[in-house]
A = this chain, B = another copy of it.
Amino acid sequence: MDPSHLKEPIDVLEDGLSFLRLVEYIGDDWSVVSSARVSFGQGRKTDEEDTRLIRYLMLHDHMSPFEHIVFKFHVSCPMFIRNQWFRHRTWSYNEISRRYTSKNIVFYIPERFRKQDLDNKQGSVFSDEINNDIARNTVKRHGELALTTYNNLLEMGIAREHARMVLPQNMYTEFYATVNLRNLLHFVKLRITPEAQWEIRQYAKAILDILEQTVPISLDAFKEKHGLK
């Protein structure tokens, strides 16, 4: 494991604007073990026994030992993804505020748009029926227009906190987010399913990659539990 590699930003949506970056973390698979074994008045044993214990805890939903491993991320994502993300109330967040700054306003333009899924009211599917060039141009032009309107309002002397109301929800936002492994796995579970919006699934996948390198045994048990293998 190369830690410098582990902490490089991942361009989650592959547009040069999105990123997920692991800032720091504490704990590893063996922290789960030592936290769990305090119940028995014991510590670590052999790797094999410890691996078995992690699997047992995960599969029997004894999740408290997974709370002592903590991850801190730095994230750049569109506002509509941020809104889904911040519904998770067990994380700690600090976000860029459009009350403070009017700089670096950029927008997410999907490479490929998705069609409404007619079987699933909240879902969508990739489809050749969509003309992506036209769609991309429409969204791009709308972003430029919104930015112009925003700047016009600022020039009229209007406060940033008021002017921002015209900015669309594909505007990028940026935040720090800290969470323990138990709640991070809950996030991944909910956001990696086919029912989740494609964009947030990409973030969940990037997190999964990081977990694969930091807590491989816990992650393996998690994947088995939720049929993700």
Contacts and interface: CB of A to CB of B under 8 A. Distances in A.
Taking the full assembly, how many copies of this chain does it contain?
4
Main DSSP-derived SS at the A contact region: mixed
Given A41-B101, A149-B138, A165-B108, A72 B159 contact: no
Contacts of A149: 138-139, 142
A68 interface: yes
A117 B158 CA distance: 9
Given A97-B39, A123-B159, A167 B168 contact: yes
A114 B159 contact: yes
A99 B145 CA distance: 24
B116 A157 contact: yes
Contacts of A166: 139, 142, 168-170
A99 B122 contact: yes
Given A38-B175, A139-B153, 15 more contacts: A24-B26, A26-B26, A35-B94, A40-B101, A41-B100, A41-B104, A64-B93, A68-B178, A70-B70, A100-B121, A113-B156, A129-B157, A134-B156, A138-B153, A164-B169
Interface of A: 24-27, 31, 34-36, 38-41, 64-65, 67-68, 70, 72, 74, 78-80, 83, 86-87, 89-90, 92-97, 99-101, 103-104, 108, 110, 113-117, 121-125, 127, 129-131, 134-135, 138-139, 142, 145-146, 149, 152-154, 156-162, 164-170, 174-176, 178, 180, 182, 197
